[in-house]
Structure 1
Amino acid sequence: MPAPERLPAPGVSATGELEELLARGELTVVGRIREASNAVLLCTVAYGDLSAECVYKPVKGERPLWDFPDGNLAQREVAAYLVSEATGWGLVPPTVLRDGPYGEGMVQLWIGPDESGEPDGGDTAEGESGGGLLALVEGEEAGEGWKPVALADVGEGRTALLVHADDPRLRRLAVLDAVINNGDRKGGHLLPAPDGRLYGIDHGVTFHREDKLRTLLWGWAGEPLTGEAREVLTALAARLADGEPLATRLAELITPVELAAVRARVADLLRTGVHPQPSGQWPAIPWPPV
């Protein structure tokens, strides 16, 4: 009997096929990612003649958070995927909510690392896993092609400037994070794929009704949104209206107050026309940053 065909990272035409594979395929646990704060299991999923590697996060493995309801981080990860798909940017790997070997959980396509190497522009941040999109540089200037984030303590009384690449893929992700109110955009959550695409992962801490935006992507704070972003947000606002399929599905995953907050954030981005700035009421950068 021939082995199932392994699917690569998704393109637009493959997304529906991958969603079906993730939702209906047989999950087999092959290992655990121990660095994660919650239970994260590496699996294979097979359905018919197709198979892929994926990540399975069972609800039973979620650690309670003081500011989020218990047992619904998996639902927020799916909601983040749906909003990402609605933008047309495809910034979150295909993600579904389904039953698995340890009960209901989030299942997401595994995105392998980009082995192409690091671009020039500064010393790679220690422990950085964002594929050359983050760096620590000496001095107070980010340098061409980079955006400053904050000064970082690098030990022995020294500081360095934390920067991220002035990359349109990152800029789109910064807009998505502002919409979903991402409270945990770390460097390790940035996954450049071998095909040149960029994915963001770990979206459990999202959609809170209060401003929780914590990210390493502050380099565009206060700058005008791109024309592309404004067009995408305008279309997204329409899809978030009552009765629209996206709004109906999100209402099954997050609370009515949180859905109203999503709509308000999109409207505010369109009204101001700029990338948000740190509120000062919440730590602006996640810890640890990587």
Structure 2
Amino acid sequence: MDTSAALRLLEHGRIEVEGRLVDASNATLFCKISLDGVDAQCVYKPVRGERPLWDFPDGTLAGREVATYLISAASFGVVPPTVLRPGPFGSGMVQLWIETREEDELVDIISVDDVKPGWIPVFHAHDRFGDPAVLVHADHPRIAEMAAFDVVVNNADRKGGHVLHAHDGAVYGVDHGICLHTEPKLRTVLWGWAREPLPDHVLDTLRRLRSELDGTLGETLHDHLTRAEVRAVGERVDKLLAAGVYPEPSGDWPAIPWPAF
């Protein structure tokens, strides 16, 4: 379905909880959502199931997920349709479920000898058997866009498992509850383009986003973020445009989330 139909379904559909994603650190429910004879699956994260984070004291994680979607919708389109609405356990984030190609991962930890063209080495480590290994991600244009997007939203937790390769070939990012802090917190597995020039179309998208932040988008984000956090989004866009290159890890905090998946 197209984005407008998906948003209508998410906003007005009837939610039935079918299970829980037990690996998530906050309450994350797998649900069926139905409206006017149309059924789909979604993820529902009720606010009451959030664990407080001392370094994200303002707002809610659900609100940050929705704000990240709004920024994505105005720029790179890498976040599935997402809304904030009432649900079976109160207000929460509801996001369209993405069916993935399980056999076609875009981020992986592999043997050093198995790195092939089309994969970009990011971080050398060891596998669970103690053998030399390397964290890699695909040299994919949509992941390159996601890497720039993560800088904009200051993503503190871009794990490999948060990068989804959909059945139709599209690439999505999920789990954005700890984004959009005012302080630098970027932690990501997508460092493959560090210090490389931003592609022209990425720069064009960032310029459009900057304009949107000065208009309706900026006002809408105030429903979910503090004024300082909204202002910081624009400042990060300005800094990225001025540099014209993908950033590299600063060394002031861990560059990669742990666990990485």
With the shorter chain as reference, the TM-score category is over 0.9
Is 1:256 aligned to residue 244 of structure 2? no
**Candidates 225, 248, 252, aligned match of 1:277:** 248
In structure 1, distance between residues paired with 2:234 and 2:13: 34
Structure-2 residue corresponding to 1:69 = 57
Work out the CA distance in 2 between the residues paired with 1:232 and 1:142. Answer: 31
Whether contact under 8 Å (2:18, 2:30) holds in the other structure is: yes
Does residue 37 of the first structure (1) align with residue 8 of the second (2)?
no
- Residue aligned with 1:100, SS: coil
Question: Which amino acid in the other structure matches residue 52 of structure 1?
Answer: A
Is this contact kept in 2: 1:64–1:71, CA < 8 A? Answer: no
Q: Under a length normalisation based on structure 2, what TM-score does the superposition of the two structures give?
A: 0.96
CA distance in 2, matches of 1:62, 1:157: 35
- The aligned counterpart of 1:125 is none
Counterpart pick for 1:214 among 159, 171, 187: 187
Distance (whole Å) between structure 2 residues aligned to residue 62 and residue 148 of structure 1: 34
Q: Which residue of 2 aligns with 1:7?
A: none
Give the distance between the partners of 2:148 and 2:21, measured in 1 at CA. 28
Q: Determine whether 1:108 maps to 2:101.
A: no
CA distance in 1, matches of 2:198, 2:38: 40
> Is the contact between residue 64 and residue 70 of structure 1 (CA under 8 Å) also seen in structure 2?
no
> Do 1:59 and 1:71's aligned partners in 2 also have CA atoms closer than 8 Å?
no
- Residue 100 of structure 1 deviates from its aligned partner by 0.7
Deviation at 1:196, TM superposition (A): 0.4
Residues 81 and 95 of structure 2 are in contact (CA less than 8 Å); yes or no, is this contact kept in structure 1? Answer: yes
CA distance in 2 between counterparts of 1:21 and 1:155 reads: 42
Hey, what does 1:136 align to over in structure 2?
110
Alpha-carbon distance in 2 for matches of 1:40, 1:253 = 20
- Contact residue 157 and residue 186 of structure 2 kept, 8 A: yes
Q: Quick one: distance in 2 between partners of 1:170 and 1:37?
A: 25
Q: Could you list the per-position Cα deviations for residues 95-135 of structure 1 after superposition, in whole angstroms to 9, with x for gaps in the alignment?
A: 000011111100000111215x34xxxxxxxxxxxx24434
- Mapped contact 2:145–2:202 kept (Cα < 8 A): yes
Q: How many correspondences in the alignment? A: 261
- The percent identity for this pair of structures is 51
Tell me the distance in 2 between the aligned counterparts of 1:251 and 1:71: 11
Task: Note the C-alpha offset of 1:212.
Answer: 0.5
Residue 38 of structure 2 corresponds to 50
Partner SS state of residue 91, structure 2: strand
Q: Distance in 2 between matches of 1:189 and 1:134?
A: 12
SS in 2 for 1:96: strand
8 Å Cα contact 1:149-1:163 kept in structure 2: yes
Contact 1:149 1:164 in 2 (8 A): yes
1:18 aligns with 2:6: yes
**Equivalent in the alignment of 2:67:** 79
| Map of 1:229 onto structure 2 | 202
For structure 2, the 5+ residue unaligned runs are none
Cross-structure match for 2:120: 147
Whose RCO is larger (CA < 8 A, sep 6+)? 2
Q: Alpha carbon RMSD of aligned pairs, Å?
A: 1.5
Match of 2:147 in 1: 174
